[in-house]
């Protein structure tokens, strides 16, 4: 990061705010101007929402826009953190021009279509088929655990295009129009009463080859970009891992609950709360260090640290909140079936947080898989035996 780059960003910011008032322009309109100015992701190339400067300078952009009254990103755009880096890294110039701007403005929302009933932790074992038909692909298959697919315009889809190739080599990555004929989104009701997760059925869905992201057969490489960014995003949001300052984030709820009930609690509870506070702060600092290490904008396997640790910590914190609240933590929760936006998933009662946290050790990669990644790719330990690694996907035994 150079002084010249910092001055360049400040000059562009000055010009943007001089010409466009975020307090009077609509959300999508202002974010469109922000993208065109190169202030969407400053580390991206010019023309793709960036200025080609150090990613750390985005913090200055976000701070100044917030001070000027610009609203924060609509939380229903959560998957922007996954789709945008994947498209930038693997998409053609036409794909970048087509998808990045409306994704950033919020005109088009995205979801992720990776897991299948028979291919969750073993993602490379997926069986959704994509058969080439002229300039299109014919898609048939089923995906599951698809967060917010019911409000998405586009899906990040990985499908099997060559069943004769090794399972990591025969996949291709597509942008799927979620409103296309043959796409059927069905809700999965959770313990909270919500149906943020879905299953998606695809029956003879036609996808133009122009909507392919990356080369044919290179879906595994593109998917890794998505997964690394997903784990960093989820890991940073759990247990205060992405909190801006000490004591903020989920741990603040526990401290507040303890303060309100301290007179009725056993002396040892204070030590328990303090231990969770320390774990939360360690995670926050670890995630900050990992973010600084991601100089290119795409994180490495270090993001799995935050995902693995944050998932368990968030569960421990949400459980501790109910413990210190006592009977009061068991009331005032609505289990009515509903199909929420992501904004509704970030608030609510302590009871909701406790129930929702059960998903943390599964979504975005199970904790067991995270441990494998950390052991093999970070610590350099020998990998687990994989007897099907060099076998054509069609010949891999399936139950």
What is the pLDDT, as a whole number, of residue 75? Answer: 74
pLDDT category at 299 given cuts 50, 70, 90 is low
More confident residue, 277 or 383: 277
What is the pLDDT, as a whole number, of residue 70? Answer: 95
What is the pLDDT, as a whole number, of residue 9? Answer: 96
pLDDT digits (tens, 9 = 90+) for 47-105: 999 999 998 899 899 999 999 999 988 877 889 989 999 999 999 999 999 999 999 99
pLDDT category at 364 given cuts 50, 70, 90 is confident
pLDDT category at 398 given cuts 50, 70, 90 is confident
pLDDT category at 387 given cuts 50, 70, 90 is confident
- Segment 205-223 shows an average pLDDT of 97
pLDDT category at 3 given cuts 50, 70, 90 is confident
Instruction: Tell me, yes or no, whether 126 lies in a domain.
Output: no
Domain boundary among 72, 100, 124: 72
Alpha-carbon distances, residue 356 vs 160, 197, 227, 315, 378 (angstroms): 32, 12, 21, 9, 29
Q: How many domains does the chain have?
A: 2
Q: Tokens standing for 309?
A: 């640790």
Residues pairing with 148 in the sheet: none
What is the pLDDT, as a whole number, of residue 306? Answer: 82
Highest mean pLDDT among 28-32, 264-268, 341-345: 28-32
- Segment 280-298 shows an average pLDDT of 74
Q: In the Cβ-directed half-sphere of 273, how many Cα atoms lie within 13 Å? A: 24
Instruction: Tell me, yes or no, whether 300 lies in a domain.
Output: yes
* Phi-psi category of residue 103: left, alpha or beta, with phi > 0 → left and psi -120 to 50 → alpha: alpha
Domain that holds residue 230: 223-378
What is the pLDDT, as a whole number, of residue 378? Answer: 84
CB distance 67 to 17 below 8 Å: no
CB distance 277 to 284 below 8 Å: no
Classified as helix, coil or strand, 130 is strand
What is the pLDDT, as a whole number, of residue 295? Answer: 54
What is the pLDDT, as a whole number, of residue 302? Answer: 65
Rounded to the nearest integer, the mean pLDDT of the chain is: 89
- Residue 216: burial class (beta carbons within 10 Å; 0-12, 13-18, 19+): middle
What is the pLDDT, as a whole number, of residue 292? Answer: 67
- Segment 247-266 shows an average pLDDT of 91
Instruction: Tell me, yes or no, whether 13 lies in a domain.
Output: yes
Instruction: Tell me, yes or no, whether 372 lies in a domain.
Output: yes
More confident residue, 346 or 11: 11
Classified as helix, coil or strand, 66 is helix
Question: Catalytic annotation on 230?
Answer: yes
pLDDT at 240 > cutoff 80: no
Largest CA distance in the chain: 72
Q: Is the pTM of this model over 0.85?
A: yes
Domain boundary among 38, 53, 72: 72
Q: How far apart are CA 123 and CA 116, in angstroms?
A: 8
What is the pLDDT, as a whole number, of residue 344? Answer: 57
Q: How far apart are CA 6 and CA 159, in angstroms?
A: 42
Alpha-carbon distances, residue 194 vs 38, 198, 338, 350, 356 (angstroms): 37, 11, 5, 15, 10
In this structure, are strands 171-177 and 110-113 parallel, antiparallel, or unpaired? Answer: unpaired
What is the pLDDT, as a whole number, of residue 343? Answer: 59
| Catalytic option among 196, 199, 230, 302 | 230
Residues 6+ apart with CB under 8 A from 327: none
- Block residue for tokens 């247990």: 239
CATH of residue 297's domain is 1.20.140.10
Instruction: Tell me, yes or no, whether 227 lies in a domain.
Output: yes
- Segment 350-360 shows an average pLDDT of 89
Domain boundary among 72, 102, 135: 72
pLDDT category at 328 given cuts 50, 70, 90 is confident
H/E run at residue 144: strand 136-144
What is the pLDDT, as a whole number, of residue 249? Answer: 82
pLDDT digits (tens, 9 = 90+) for 135-183: 999 999 999 999 999 999 999 999 999 999 999 999 999 999 999 999 9
């Amino acid at each position: 990061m150079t002084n010249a780059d910092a001055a360049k960003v400040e000059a562009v910011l000055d010009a943007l705010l001089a010409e466009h008032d975020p307090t009077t322009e609509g959300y999508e309109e202002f974010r469109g101007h922000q993208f065109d100015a190169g202030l969407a992701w400053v580390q991206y190339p010019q023309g793709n929402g960036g200025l080609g400067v150090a990613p750390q300078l985005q913090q200055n952009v976000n701070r100044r826009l917030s001070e000027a009254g610009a609203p924060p990103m609509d939380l229903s755009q959560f998957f922007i953190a996954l789709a945008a880096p994947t498209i930038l890294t693997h998409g053609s110039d036409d794909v970048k021009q087509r998808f990045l701007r409306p994704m950033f403005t919020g005109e088009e929302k995205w979801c992720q279509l990776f897991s299948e009933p028979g291919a969750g932790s073993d993602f490379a074992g997926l069986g959704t088929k994509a058969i080439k038909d002229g300039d299109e692909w014919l898609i048939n298959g089923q995906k599951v655990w698809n967060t917010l697919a019911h409000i998405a315009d586009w899906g990040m889809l990985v499908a099997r295009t060559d069943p004769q190739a090794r399972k990591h080599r025969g996949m291709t990555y597509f942008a799927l129009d979620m409103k296309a004929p043959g796409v059927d989104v069905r809700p999965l009701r959770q313990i909270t009463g919500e149906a943020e997760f879905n299953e998606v059925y695809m029956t003879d869905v036609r996808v133009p080859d122009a909507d392919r992201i990356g080369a044919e057969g290179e879906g595994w490489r593109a998917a890794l970009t998505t997964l690394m960014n997903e784990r960093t995003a989820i890991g940073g949001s759990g247990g205060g891992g992405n909190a801006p300052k000490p004591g903020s984030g989920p741990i603040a709820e526990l401290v507040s609950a303890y303060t309100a009930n301290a007179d009725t609690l056993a002396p040892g509870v204070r030590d328990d709360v303090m231990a969770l506070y320390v774990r939360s702060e360690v995670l926050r600092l670890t995630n900050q260090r990992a973010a600084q290490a991601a100089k290119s904008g795409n994180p490495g396997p270090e993001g799995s640290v935050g995902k693995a640790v944050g998932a368990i910590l968030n569960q421990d914190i949400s459980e501790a909140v109910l413990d210190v609240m006592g009977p009061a933590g068991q009331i005032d929760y609505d289990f009515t079936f509903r199909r929420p936006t992501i904004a509704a998933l970030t608030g609510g009662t302590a009871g909701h947080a406790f129930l929702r946290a059960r998903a943390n050790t599964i979504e975005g990669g199970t904790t067991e898989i995270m441990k494998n990644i950390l052991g093999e790719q970070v610590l350099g330990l020998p990998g687990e035996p994989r007897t099907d690694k060099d076998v054509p996907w069609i010949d891999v035994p399936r139950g």
